[in-house]
Amino acid sequence: MNTSSIAKSSALMLLGAVLFTGCRGAYPRQDPTGRRLPTVRGQRLDGQSVTLPDDLGGKPALLLVAYKMNSQFDCDRWILGVLDAALDVAVLEVPTIQGLVPGLFAGSIDAGMRSGIPAEEWAQVVTVYDDAEILAEFLGSENALPARALLLDPGGSVVFFHDEGYSPRALKRLAEALEKIRGERG
């Protein structure tokens, strides 16, 4: 196969994946604050399997669940905000892709993500395919563009949730929720 044929095949696979996942219904948006994150399996870009929230080591974590590639800008803003505010919390990007077809091409999709993300960050990106619908139902998938930002306490319960795009005020509320967790533990 020449490069042109490979590019056309890849484009057709991507188009098929987008069309197939676009046929699934969207779940209504909802605020899961106070509920425990359901168990979902994924894989870090460095190849390690992950079960959320179990593999978070009993520590608070900020999950940035993204249903669309265009949500990357929102995820980047959250990450930069957390770094700028010097919040001591693990941050995981969780690309969540529903549908049978994307799952079949998970390796290719993950390889594409690895090509645009420095290797030192691969452990902070957990792709979810098989359990994507569990997350979509738990968080809602209507208006899928903004990432869903959720802070989990050490037990895996959601103590902060925001699904309207990054904002400095939302970051402040996140910081307050993180301090409250630390105050309860100390």
Whole-prediction pTM value?
Answer: 0.81
pLDDT at position 112: 60
Is the separation of the CB atoms in 59 and 92 below 8 Å?
no
pLDDT at residue 96 above 50?
Answer: yes
Arithmetic mean of pLDDT over the chain: 83
Is the separation of the CB atoms in 116 and 109 below 8 Å?
no
pLDDT, tens digit (0-9, with 9 covering 90-100), for 160-185: 999 999 999 999 999 999 999 988 76
Q: How many residues comprise the chain? A: 186
The torsion defined by the Cα of 92, 64, 117 and 104, in degrees rounded to 10, comes to: 100
Cα distance between residue 11 and residue 17, in whole Å: 10
Q: Where are the domains of the chain?
A: 32-185
Q: In what order do the strands lie in the sheet with 158-162?
A: 90-95, 61-66, 148-152, 158-162
User: Which residues are CB-neighbours of 130 under 8 A, at least 6 positions away?
Assistant: 41, 103
pLDDT at position 110: 61
Domain 32-185: which CATH number of 3.40.30.10, 3.40.50.720, 3.40.630.20, 2.60.40.10: 3.40.30.10
How large is the average pLDDT for residues 13-19? 44
Which three-class secondary structure state does DSSP give residue 148? strand
Ranges assigned E (strand) in 2-146: 40-44, 49-52, 61-66, 90-95, 126-127
pLDDT at position 181: 95
SS3 content of the chain, % helix, strand, coil (to 5): 45, 20, 35
Written as six digits, the tokens of 121 are 């960050």
pLDDT at position 11: 40
pLDDT, tens digit (0-9, with 9 covering 90-100), for 110-145: 666 666 677 788 889 899 988 999 999 999 988 888
Least confidently predicted of 1-5, 92-96, 175-179: 1-5
Share of the chain above pLDDT 70, in %: 76
pLDDT, tens digit (0-9, with 9 covering 90-100), for 21-77: 444 568 999 999 999 999 999 998 888 999 999 999 999 999 999 998 888 899 999
> Which residue in 149, 153, 105, 112 sits closest to 129, CA to CA?
105
Q: Kindly provide the b/e burial profile for residues 129-166, where b requires at least 16 CB atoms within 10 angstroms of the residue's own CB.
A: bebbbbbbebbbbeebebbbbbbbbbebbbbbbbbeeb
Q: Which of residues 107 and 156 earns the better pLDDT score?
A: 156
pLDDT at position 69: 83
